[in-house]
Amino acid sequence: MTKKHGWLDSKGEGDDRLMQLFWNRAALKKEFRRLREQRYRLEETLKRQQEATQSVEMRMQALEKLFANPEAGFNAIVYYQLRGLWNTCAAELKKFASELYKQREEKERQHEMMVFNRERNQRLAGLADEMQALTAEMSRLRESLKQLHAKAESMRGIFGYFKRRPLKAELETTRMAITPLQLKYDQLNDAQSSIAAQRPPEFQGLGIQGKRIANLGVIALARYMHQYYSEKGFAAMARDAAIMPIEEVRYGTREQCSRLMEEVPRAVAGIKSDPAFSAAVKRGAQDLHAVASYLTDEDTIPRAETLDELAKKAPRVEVATNVLAQDFWEVYSALIR
């Protein structure tokens, strides 16, 4: 019997070891596949990095050849000034969008708080009126009860006994009339305390209408900057510098480049000191609001084609640009979704 059981035990242990080896082999194969896939991904990443490095090296060589010509140095300065102008305008739009968002958000938060406080005060005032009316009625009944008690006390002797009987019924009726009024008053008082302790609801963030107003302000700023720099002759040049490589643009002779190198920073400083800036952007936002339409009720960015009407009203052909349709100054990236 002992030998038989021992043989069964050894067989069970052997099966367990066999199963363990099977699972270990499966785990190793799974780990091997994972490492192989990881190696392929790393090789692909390395290949892309090598291609990117090679591209940068080729570009550096091209720039070295370009800058070997002294005239190209002036061209490059103007190029990067104009790229800086484009990037500055794009950054200004994002900064302006953030400021408008905060302003609209604070305005809506204050409006919600004002509505909440007004409604709460109206409810409290209504309860106060009810409680005042109950207090007046209970005071009247208590005064009547006091007078009835005094009248009953004045009726003494055998003759007064029969006169006091109807007074007792009236006393009881008056006393019973006070009880529900007091209960109602206590309920109203509890409700008043509960309403007074209520906290305003958590602000859920800027609504669709608020986002639309903010976005129209951003687009108005983009249109203003486009018109301003177009009149200076720099808007289209800045766009070309933002999308074209330096090898493909030319700004003229050294003298012409030197003049541009002075005029671009002057134009940038001029737009910031323009006294009509705020009024022009506000008026532009109002004009946009009059023509803007949206694809759905949930959209916060107007359909670009609805702004064509305003673009056509530009003072000159060169500034008649739909900044939203052309994503001028990267305006789309500044708009609030």
Residue 8 has pLDDT above 50, yes or no: no
Instruction: Please tell me the predicted confidence (pLDDT) of residue 1.
Output: 47
Of 15-29, 248-262, 295-309, the poorest mean pLDDT is in 15-29
| CA–CA distance, 211 with 219 (Å, rounded to integer) | 12
Instruction: Please tell me the predicted confidence (pLDDT) of residue 20.
Output: 73
Residue 153 has pLDDT above 90, yes or no: no
Mean pLDDT of the chain: 83
Residue 253 has pLDDT above 70, yes or no: yes
Residue 23, classified by CB atoms within 10 Å of its CB into exposed (0-12), middle (13-18) or buried (19+), is exposed
- Please give the model's pTM, rounded to 2 decimal places: 0.67
Dump pLDDT digits (tens) for 169-210: 777 788 888 889 899 999 999 999 999 888 988 888 889 999
Residue 311 has pLDDT above 60, yes or no: yes
Per-residue exposure over 10-21, b if at least 16 CB sit within 10 Å of its own CB, e if not: eeeeeeeeeeee
Of 82-91, 140-149, 238-247, 313-322, the poorest mean pLDDT is in 313-322
- Name the one residue in this structure whose structure tokens are 């951003």: 218
For residues 120 and 31, which has the higher predicted lDDT (pLDDT)?
120
State percent of the chain over pLDDT 70: 82
**At 223, is the pLDDT very low, low, confident or very high (cuts 50, 70, 90)?**
very high
Residue 263 has pLDDT above 80, yes or no: yes
| CA–CA distance, 56 with 71 (Å, rounded to integer) | 23
Dump pLDDT digits (tens) for 44-70: 888 888 877 776 666 666 665 666 566
Per-residue exposure over 114-142, b if at least 16 CB sit within 10 Å of its own CB, e if not: eeeeeeeeeeeeebeeebeebeeebeebe
Q: Compute φ and ψ for 145, nearest 5 degrees.
A: -65, -40
Centre a 10 Å sphere on the Cβ of residue 104 and count the other Cβ atoms it contains.
20
In three-state secondary structure terms, 315 is coil
Instruction: Please tell me the predicted confidence (pLDDT) of residue 313.
Output: 64
Token pair for residue 273?
Answer: 């000191």
Residue 85, classified by CB atoms within 10 Å of its CB into exposed (0-12), middle (13-18) or buried (19+), is buried
